[in-house]
Every structure is written in C-alpha cells, then in structure tokens.
Structure 1
Amino acid sequence: MTQPFADTPFLCGPLRKPRQMLADQRYDGHKSIHDDAMAEGLGLRAGPIEGPTHFSQFDPLLYKVFGQAWFETGCISAHYQNMVVEGEEVRAFVEAAPSQHPRFVRIWAEKRDGTPVLTGSASIGDANGLPHEIQNRIAKLRPATGLVINRDLKVGQRGAVVEKIRMGFDDHMGDHYPFTLADKLKVITEPCAWYSRETGGQSPWGRPIIPMEMISVLLGSTSAQAQLSGRKPAVGLFAGQEIRLLKGPLFVDQDYELEREIVALSESARTESVWIRTRVVEAGSRDAVAEMILNGAVMKASYPTYEEEARALGLG
C-alpha cells in the first residue's frame, strides 16, 4: 500500500514555557539584562530568558535522530534571533533526518505565533567541514574597525588563568548564575532520568550527566577570571553560541579546567561582540572533553560614555 501522506520533513517538539532564572544575576557590580528594570531601561519588554535555556528542548529530538552519540559527541550551534520572556511558549524543530551530511541537521525554534527564537545546526562526531551556524558566521565577519568598549581586546588573546570548576547538584554557581543544578532540574523543560541525583547512576556512563544547557552555566560561571571582557560598565547578552562535546558527556561532581581565547571581534549598529572559544579539559587526565564558542555582545547604549569616547577615537 502506498503512503497516503507525505513524510514530515522535520521533527517538532511540544510548546514549552521556559523559566527565567537569572533575574538576580550580577556582574561587574550591577544587575544584568535579565533583570526586568535593567532590560526595560534598554528598551526591552522585560528581562529575557538566557538563550541556552532553549537547548534543552532540542535534546529529546536530537537523541531521536542521533541516539546516544548525541550526549557523547554532539554539537549544537545557534544564532539567537529574538528574546523570550517568561510566560511565552517556545517550540523546537529539527530536520527529520540528516540530508546532505549524514551527521548534520538544521535546527530552529519559534514562539507560538511563529516568531523565530533561534536558528542553527546540530551534529555528532567529527565536525570538520560541516556548515555549523556559529563557525559560518565567524567566517563571514568583516574586520572590526570601530570598537569603543572592546578596543583593548585582541584576536588570539588568551584568558588570564586556567579556571578550575565543577558542578555538584547543590553547588551555587556564583553571581553570574545564582542557582544550583538541583534548582534547574526542578524546572527544566525536558526532564531526563540521566540528569537526576536519584536515577543518574542508571545512565549509560553510570553517573549523572550535566544537561547541555547547564554546560553553558558551568563554563560561564567563572568567566570573569579570564579577564577577556571590554571596558565597563556595560550590559551584555548572548547573541550566539556553540557547544561541542568531544569526549562527552560532562559529569556532575567532576573537576574540569577551562582555557579561553578570543577568536573574533565584531560590531553592529547596536552592539560590540567578543567571540570566545572555551576549551574544557578533565582535571587530572587533561583529556579535552568539550568546547564552547560564545558570541558575547555588549550594548553600546549601556556604556555611559560611548558617544564621547567614540568621538575622541575619531569614530563619531
């Protein structure tokens, strides 16, 4: 019998309402863009939900496409398009099957009304030569010639120290991330037995694993130690992000070390961006286990003397 319906070209997750957990986030002595008052002062409706929160909605879909390998050598690469505030509903989409590349799919997310939230790609295994969203965007960047806030930074500049980090279920992750893994697991959009304290030992690796969205928290919680940010005070946001597992998953209560490097600098009409690659190695073995590329954008309007300094630099 012939198939009466055409194959659906994509997998679609359910509508979810991700939770805002960064209202109390602080850095450089001030609240972040995730605080409602700060966001409204910069012309936003309310404090947005952090971009990688949406990564959890892709995990069940990508596990369906790639199987266990998603948690071992998976890569998610996303450009954030529109902010989401608490109460809004978001749905994740993934190509139903790899097309041109057998280990690569396109991904995207939308609000209930179709407003795009992010666009990107996902893959497993060796990522060399694959058209990942963030790497494509870096390749197309023009040289940044009008930097004010980030004018002291250089491509190739490395972090000031090797950062030491771990994430236990009850570890408070600092001012940048004022909550614990246990707090997150109470509200995560896609609960998984492999994440939890009670059932994580039943995972294929015999230990609880860190959710993909919380890898961003793990790597971001000590970022100030690297001293790779621009002039202050300025309010930033995540404009794009890629998390790649090399020898995953990452584990709860495992010691890791982080090494950072600026791989690109860029600018737009409203922002200046630092693109930083963070390399994650397992403490002791020194095995490279993961990498993240983050496009950290700062809003020009949040830097009090931006116009004055731009004119002094001959950029006005």
Structure 2
Amino acid sequence: MSFDTPLYLCGPLREPRQMLADQEYSGHTSIHDNDMAEKLGFKAGPIEGPTHFSQFVPMLAEIWGQAWFERGCFSAHFQNMVVEGEQVRAFVERPAEGATRVRAWAEKADGTPVLEASASLGPDHGETLLDQRMRKLRAPDKLVILAELREGMAGAEDEPVRMDADKHMGNLYPFSLNDKLERITENSPWYSEAGSSPWGRAIIPLEMVSVLAEYSSKLAKFPVKQPVVGLFADQEIRMVDGPLFVGEEYLIRREIVALSESKRTESYWVRSRIYDAGGTVLKAEMLLNHATLKHSYPHYEEEAG
C-alpha cells in the first residue's frame, strides 16, 4: 500500500538559553539586553536566531549522514523572536529517496512560527530559501542609516579568525565554545572530542559557525551610522569543504550583496566567505541580513527629511 501523504521528522521541545544578554557593539548594549529590548518595544531580549539551528542538526544528520557536515546548507528566515523560558520544536520534511533539499521550520510550543528554512546538500543546492527571498527584495527608496553602503562593497581587509574551545569570543559573543556546549540544546561528542569525530578533530557546531563568522566583523568597517540597534532577519550557513574545525585558522572576506528596506528596518545583506588560512580554499559561506531598526537611530527622522 502506498500513500502520497507528506511526512515530517520532528524533534523534542527544547528551551534554548540566552547567552547574549551582555553583548556590546559600537559602545552600547544590543537588542538581546532586556532593557534595550524593552526600549525598542519588545517584551524581553530575544535569543539569537542561529541558536535554533542546533535543533535541526540531528534530523539532517539522520537524513544525509556525515555528508551533511561537509556539504550541507541551512537557509533560514526568522519570523518571531524567542525569549528564554519559551519552548521550541524543530521540524524537517522527510525527503524522497535521493532528494537533496528539504523544507524545515520551527515553532513555539503554542504553534507560533519561529523560523522557516530550506536545508540542502551540495554541491548543487539549487535555489535556497534566501535565494528566493533576495530575488523578491524591494529596492530601498532612501537609505539613511545605510546611506554610505553600496552593493558589491567589500570588507576593508582579510580577517584572520580562529575558535578555540576555551577562547572568549569578545564583546559580540561574550562566551566561549565550552560555555556554549554547557547550554547547547543538542550536544555531540564531535564538538569536543577529536577522537569521536569522523575527521579526527572536534568540529564547530552549526550555530557557532555564526559566531566564528561574525567575531571579526568590525574589521570590515562597513560605514553603518551609529548608534543603531540591529537584529538578524535572515541567515544562511553553507558548507563548501566542511566541516570547520575547533582550533583551526581561517580567513574571512566579506561583501555586501544586497540592500533593502521595510517599514521598520534598513537592511544590508553580507556574504562572508570563510577560507583556509592561506585564503585559497573556500571552506564555508554565511549570508546574513543585518536589519537595522530605524527608530533606534536618534537622527533618523531629521536625516530622512
């Protein structure tokens, strides 16, 4: 007997932890600080979006095995914020045999959507969710906060980065990988024990690739007006020659690939390419939509005219 009923994998309800309450950038606290979030009209400081990516990894590893960590791509649009204490469940479409792309999403315990995503296995990912979203972007009428940015603008310099297990990741990420592994929703010995990993080395968890990629982002010197508060609205992490390893030197090059605007935000989309230490072998990429909140910039109305 056969059916055409779509089936899905789902994980358990988890309570992701807030680890960015003390985050600082450009001399001020971020939206993850409760007081700052309340000033901006949110009920509390949200948990960082890529924290939720970890809940998908066991299901994607079940579908594609070791190859997921080497050539996988997770492309997500964040829909609603989650605060500490709320429960989240992840879902992944069960693929047909041989399929290399699936739909994925996360919900709060009451069914409120958290994010929608595509997950795919390279090298041919087809059109990811963020490819689709970028294709439909509305051209900005007049940018204020991002007035000095241009599509194609490259970061000011190559950025050497490294994530050691006990390395504090700075003001943007005031914790270490070891700190994260004490609170991560889905832990694995592959993240901390070299001998258990198929590659003979500890690998950086999917959600911590975001930390590695953003750790040195101030070196890009993109001229975003300050003070301003932003958030992650869309994010894609793609392994090209993965995984990325704990304690390994990498080199990051950045490029602004799109500018967009909504009623409340001005956005700049940055593609960060992560190379080996010599800058010749592309290992991974991250596409990130930095959405800056218009009303967080004190001169917005005046400069908008």
Q: Return the TM-score normalized by structure 2.
A: 0.97
Q: 1:293 to 1:62 in 2, by over 3 A?
A: same
What is aligned with 2:298? Answer: 304
CA distance in 1, matches of 2:158, 2:199: 27
Match of 1:269 in 2: 263
Match of residue 88 from structure 2: 90
Residues 102-121 of structure 1 mapped to structure 2, 5 A cutoff? 102-121=99-118
> Equivalents in 2 of 1:96, 1:190: separation in Å?
20
The structure 1 residue matched to 2:132, chosen from 133, 136, 141, is: 136
How far is the alpha carbon of 1:52 from its aligned partner? 0.3
In the other structure, the counterpart of 2:145 is: 149
C-alpha contact (below 8 Å) 1:98/1:104 kept by paired residues: no
Cα distance in 1 for partners of 2:294, 2:5 equals: 46
The counterpart of 2:164, out of the listed 145, 164, 168, is: 168
3-state SS, counterpart of residue 159 of structure 1:
coil
Q: Choose which of 105, 122, 125 in structure 2 pairs with 1:125.
A: 122
Q: For residues 72 and 223 of structure 2, what CA distance do their matches in structure 1 show? A: 28
Question: Is contact 2:169–2:176 with CA below 8 Å preserved after alignment?
Answer: yes
**Cα shift readout 1:29-69 (whole Å, capped 9, x = no counterpart):** 00000000000000001000000000000000000111111
Q: Sequence identity, in percent?
A: 59
Provide the C-alpha distance between the structure 1 equivalents of 2:157 and 2:96, rounded to a whole number of angstroms.
40
Deviations 1:145-174 (A, max 9, x none): 221100100000000010000000010111
1:182 aligns with 2:186: no
- Report the TM-score, using the length of structure 1 for normalisation: 0.94
- State the distance in 2 between where 1:295 and 1:229 align: 16
Corresponding residue SS for 2:146: coil
State how far apart, in whole Å, the 1-side matches of 2:87 and 2:6 are: 22
Greater shift in the superposed pair: 5-14 or 77-86: 5-14
Moved over 3 A (4+): 5-8
Equivalent residue number for residue 282 of structure 1: 276
Change over 3 Å in CA distance of 1:161–1:192 after alignment to 2: same
Q: Distance in 1 between matches of 2:124 and 2:15?
A: 31
* Cα RMSD, aligned residues only: 1.5
The answer for the alignment partner of 1:58 in structure 2 is 56
Query: In structure 2, what is the equivalent of residue 18 of structure 1?
Result: 16
Q: d(CA) in 1 for partners of 2:120 and 2:147?
A: 35
Aligned mates of 1:63, 1:7 — CA distance in 2: 23
Match of 1:34 in 2: 32
Using the TM superposition, give the Cα deviation of residue 138 of structure 1 relative to its aligned residue in structure 2, in angstroms.
0.8
Distance 1:98 1:278, change over 3 A: farther
1:258 positional shift: 0.2
* Residue identity opposite 2:187 in structure 1: P
Distance (Å, rounded) in 2 between the aligned partners of 1:143 and 1:84: 29
Q: Which residue of 2 aligns with 1:210?
A: 204
Amino acid across the alignment from 1:114: G
Gaps of 5+ in 1: 312-316
Matched, 1:77 2:71: no
Consecutive unaligned residues of structure 2, counting only runs of 5 or more, are none
Judge conservation of contact 2:241–2:282 (CA < 8 Å) in 1. yes
Structure 1 distance, partners of 2:118, 2:289, is 16
